[in-house]
Structure 1
Amino acid sequence: MTEIITQAISDRICKHMNDDHQDAVKLYAQYYGKIDTLETAKMLSIDPQGMYLIIDNHEENPLRIEFDHTLTDAKDAHTTLVEMMKQAK
């Protein structure tokens, strides 16, 4: 059985990304959000279609990044975020 991306799963993924992979979150904003300069980026939420970040480039702004497919579960979210990171590098 696949686990859908619930609020609890979104919160867990965001906490992990913000605590352990802040460089990746910043790179997502720069590459996929086409943001040249920013001080910080934080993942706010993730859902099957995309993720919301808050970026700080002298003021806080929300940023939505869509995925290239609809996520099926938390494992798919992990795989997709890793692939997005590889592509952005």
Structure 2
Amino acid sequence: MYEKIKEKYYWKNMFEDIKAYAKTCNSCQKRGKSDKKNELFLIKNKYIIVAIDYFTKWPEAKATEKDNAETVTEFMRKLYADMDIRRK
């Protein structure tokens, strides 16, 4: 609770005030302190290719493992093929 509040507010003895409030707050007592850490998943796709249609401003994006010309070329070919289908 303190971490969230300190992002936007500050006052003297803020930590102690928040701690005292949390001890008397029914919702805080029911919820309890969360010591659980969020699990970080490793993702293969390290890069994102983004293209935006100049006229319509329509964005297209693809997450990819590689940042090479072959990957970009494949992305552009699929993009042009999809655009051709949409126009028909």
TM-score by length of 1: 0.27
Q: Which has the higher contact order (CA 8 A, sep 6+)?
A: 1
User: Larger radius of gyration, structure 1 or 2?
Assistant: 2
Structure richer in strand, relative to its length = 1
- Name the TM-score, length of structure 2 as normaliser: 0.28
